[in-house]
Amino acid sequence: MDTVAPCQRSETTTRPASVAILSRSFSRHPALRAELLAQYPRAVFNDSGAILKGQALIDFVAPHEAAIVGLETIDDALMAALPKLRILSKYGVGLDNIDLEAAARRGLKVASQPGVNRRSVAELAISYMICGLRGVMVSFDEIRRGVWRQYAGRQLSNATVGLIGFGHVGTEAAGLLRAFGSRVLAHDIRDIAAPAARLDVQPVDLTSLFEKSDVVSLHVPLTARTANMLDEFAFAAMKPGVVIVNVARGGLIDEAALDRALRSGQVAAACLDVFAREPPEDSELFSRPGFLGTAHIGGSAEEAILAMGRAALHGLSAAGDPRALIPAWLD
């Protein structure tokens, strides 16, 4: 299963008169601000430090013809409240926060550049795999409690890593894992024979991946098909002591089931960069010694921020039919 929608064909779009930049990362980056203002001097930036929602989002975008969208939810009701809006350009990857069907019905054009932050996200996934296998979180917790113990972990080079999703980030992670010498399995609903062979990866069904993997890493979008795909039954089917990594999308994991699996020891470690609700509220996961949680930082490397920002800037003049961004497998 791919991590993002297929690449949209570029087409000429009439330049918008004014742009609202919703993305906080874009807004606080001086180089991106300068580059955008050079082309769109009437642009406004989200300097609030918060993800805008509801009426605050409507008020911010309403006077403008275009918006650069980060993690904000852009649904049909919001579009209905923004009659002047005609262009949406995505900062980052993953379009689950934009209702593409509604955008098409309302005549909006949408731009997205798949895979623009793949290396940044893949490197974070690799670091999480190492942390989980080596017991970094457990050792840190023990030291804080006055316990000095040498945790007996495992090398990534001798581990079997199962990648669920073999799109842009999945294949990038596979290339990095190849350098470590790891055995890599991959599951995808698409035919991945060619890229898997090139990267010495073994395509497998999901059951086999669960049974054989020391690390299970998620690299799929959030859809009706993938929501809570790692639940109590999935964890029970995995090898005891498995390491779970999710740098893809929140909502792919049943977090309550993960908490139970950590407490039972079925899951030895879990490293999540994304959550069903962001920021998480009253999550018991953060009290578990084998758990590591970060604040959706996968694409926050300096290099990725620049690449995503420039892709979003280009998208303002190259947006097209949102239906071209709807994957064939999305139902």
β-bridge pairing 291-293 and 267-272: parallel
In a domain, 211, yes or no: yes
Q: How many domains is the chain partitioned into structurally?
A: 2
In a domain, 330, yes or no: no
Same domain, 162 and 70: no
Mean pLDDT score, 275-284: 89
Interatomic CA distance for residues 178 and 302, integer angstroms: 25
| Residue 70: pLDDT over 90 | yes
199 HSE (CA, 13 A, CB side): 27
| pLDDT tens digit sequence for 162-177 | 999 999 999 999 999 9
Query: Per DSSP, which regions of 219-278 are E strands?
Result: 242-246, 267-272
Look at residues 175, 164, 168 and name the one whose alpha carbon lies nearest to residue 126. Answer: 175
Query: What is the model's pTM?
Result: 0.87
Look at residues 192, 196, 195 and name the one whose alpha carbon lies nearest to residue 184. Answer: 196
| Domain around 40 | 19-116+301-324
pLDDT of residue 282: 75
- The helix/strand/coil state of 276 is coil
Find all residues with CB under 8 Å of 151, minimum gap 6, and list them: 134, 135, 138, 139, 142
| Residue 57: pLDDT over 90 | yes
| pLDDT tens digit sequence for 94-116 | 888 999 999 999 999 999 998 99
- Residue 47 binned pLDDT confidence (cut-offs 50, 70, 90): very high
Give the phi and the psi of residue 81 in degrees, each rounded to 5.
-85, 0
Please, what is the average pLDDT of the chain?
93
Catalytic residues: 249, 278, 296
| Residue 59: pLDDT over 90 | yes
| pLDDT tens digit sequence for 113-154 | 989 999 999 999 999 999 999 999 999 999 999 999 999 999
| Residue 2: pLDDT over 50 | no
Instruction: Report the CATH number that the domain containing residue 144 is assigned in CATH.
Output: 3.40.50.720
In a domain, 14, yes or no: no
